[in-house]
Amino acid sequence: MRLTTVINIIITAVLIILGSILGGSYTNKLHLFWLSILIIYAVVIQFLYNIVLTQNIELKAERDKVSAFFLRRNSNNQSYMQCSLFPKNYGSRIVKNRLIAMEIYVTSTVPLQTVPDIKISVNKDCKVLINHQNVNSTIFAGERNYYLQNSLVSNLENKYFKYSFDMEFTNVGDYIINLEANNGDAVLTVSNSLNIVSN
């Protein structure tokens, strides 16, 4: 029960008891009128409160939609999403021909209608695995593109997304990794570099 409902019931009960203390009886028409008015008062107040509460909830939802719309439109081509790549190497160097767990975090300032699709583009040859299964690549403009389907690990409130996959680098040197998060409404591109060393 809501606090206001409890307060309404208590106030109505106090007024009814007050009417009884002042000498009211059920045979007295004035006392019955007093009780009827109090009951009608309690019902009308609760009804009006429920209407106001419903309108406030609807108004908040509409304000959130308008805020999200203006946030998207006023960003001057800056996305309302953020994306980061996190190699789970526990502070050590990334070694050639070793499998390393990778995580991608995508956050949004507004709830997203669709989960962002992740594409990674790498400038050198490597292997990408999801659940120990190789991900096929396409080569375009000298980069290897990997689409990370089924890599979503967790989704919180349609605003926070975590993706997980594994990579194995076959060359030594700097790898340029471009991440692209696309939810159909906005596209975010982030570029990272990783230095790969030999054994």
pLDDT digits (tens, 9 = 90+) for 164-175: 999 999 989 889
* Residue 69, pLDDT score: 59
Pairing outcome for strands 173-182 and 137-140: unpaired
**pLDDT for 87-123, tens place per residue?**
888 778 888 989 999 999 998 888 888 888 999 999 9
**135 in Cβ contact with 166 (< 8 Å):** no
Q: Taking the CA atoms of 19, 22, 26 and 29 in sequence, report the sign of the dihedral they define.
A: negative
Q: What residues contact residue 73 under an 8 Å CB cut-off, 6+ apart? A: none
3-state secondary structure of 77: coil
3-state secondary structure of 199: coil
**155 in Cβ contact with 116 (< 8 Å):** no
As a residue count, the chain comes to 199
Percent of the chain, pLDDT > 90?
15
**pLDDT for 36-88, tens place per residue?**
787 788 788 888 888 888 888 888 877 776 666 555 544 444 567 888 888 88
Q: What mean pLDDT comes out for the span 115-137?
A: 90
Per-residue DSSP letter, 132: T
* Residue 93, pLDDT score: 86
Answer whether residue 192 shows pLDDT above 90.
no
Report the interhelical angle of 3-21 vs 29-73 (nearest 10°): 160
* Residue 21, pLDDT score: 66
3-state secondary structure of 43: helix
Give start and end residues of each alpha helix (H) in the chain. 3-21, 29-73
* Residue 77, pLDDT score: 46
**168 in Cβ contact with 100 (< 8 Å):** yes
Answer whether residue 1 shows pLDDT above 90.
no
Pairing outcome for strands 187-197 and 173-182: antiparallel
